[in-house]
Amino acid sequence: MNTLKTWMLMTILTVFIVLIGTLFGRGGATIALVVAVAMNGFSYFFSDQVALAMSGAKPVTEREAPTLYAAVRHLSTRAGLPMPRVLIAPSQQPNAFATGRNPKNAAVVVNQGLLDILTERELTGVLAHEMSHIRHHDILVATVAATLAGAITWLAHMLQWGLYFGMGNDRRNQNVFADLVVIILAPIAAAMIQMAISRSREYKADAGAAHLTRDPDALADALAKLGHTSRFGTSNRSAYETPSTAAAAFAHLYIVNPLRGQTLAGLFSTHPPTEERIRRLRLMRIA
């Protein structure tokens, strides 16, 4: 199913880019098709590297993070998965995500802020959530969606600058309205792509984590802490970091939404309410 979703996303991107290209004539459409094919190939093979670069995550050794490594190894063994790469991002915002084309080249990224506030039991719950994403093969479609959403937003910005500097003056009077529609709708299309795949999969990953650890309250307690921190921050930092629009395209990869509760968060909102996720976990009874 997720493979089908990936191809659907790539098709959407191709159609969208070609439509933009047609605004510049037949030659523009041809160039747009070449660009779309190149972007699709890049997103499939290298989207995980883009996600890691966006987060600033660095690989760590078992000696550097023994507790983190032990938890990931234990969970991967229980889930019957290969040991993923383990990375720590320097961000002080407590968060985590998984990425990769498949379980064989998966990576788990944990922000330093998460390690600073969670107990070992709560950390295991969060890692189990990310391992569930890997187990359910969510990570390919999620990472590709992030890359494609970023590409759509980037294209809208390029078109906007083209209008500012007189690109296509010979057809501006006829097509300026179409250009403005693309500029307005491209970020919305990016957000819709993300929202279409994200909300239900978070509930599924939460349930998967509960069964993997046999301790649904561990993840519920972690989410309660993350939800509180996302609203109020800590004594020495704000509740949110302000990402670029490109980085915002990757927001749905994280276990909780990393964006501010303003324009970007509204546009790229991809997560179900944390309170509802906690409620469902509290009601779970694992035999």
List phi, psi (to 5°) of 43.
-65, -35
Closest CA to 51 of 126, 147, 140: 147
Confirm if 87 and 109 have CB atoms less than 8 A apart: yes
Consult the annotation and say whether 157 binds a ligand.
no
Consult the annotation and say whether 122 binds a ligand.
no
CA distance 10 to 41: 9
62 is catalytic: no
Instruction: State which amino acid sits at residue 117.
Output: I
Residue from 62, 64, 130, 275 carrying the catalytic annotation? 130
What is the residue whose two structure tokens read 């998966």? 106
Confirm if 286 and 216 have CB atoms less than 8 A apart: yes
Q: How many beta carbons lie within 10 A of that of residue 104, not counting itself?
A: 9
Confirm if 131 and 75 have CB atoms less than 8 A apart: yes
Confirm if 106 and 98 have CB atoms less than 8 A apart: yes
**DSSP code, position 84:** P
Which helix (DSSP H) or strand (DSSP E) does residue 107 occupy? strand 107-111
Q: How many alpha carbons lie under 13 Å from residue 245 in its C-beta half-sphere?
A: 17
CA distance 255 to 205: 10
Consult the annotation and say whether 228 binds a ligand.
no
Q: Give the residue numbers annotated as catalytic, written as ranges.
A: 130
Where is the binding site for Zn(2+), in residues?
129, 133, 202
Binding residues: 129, 133, 202
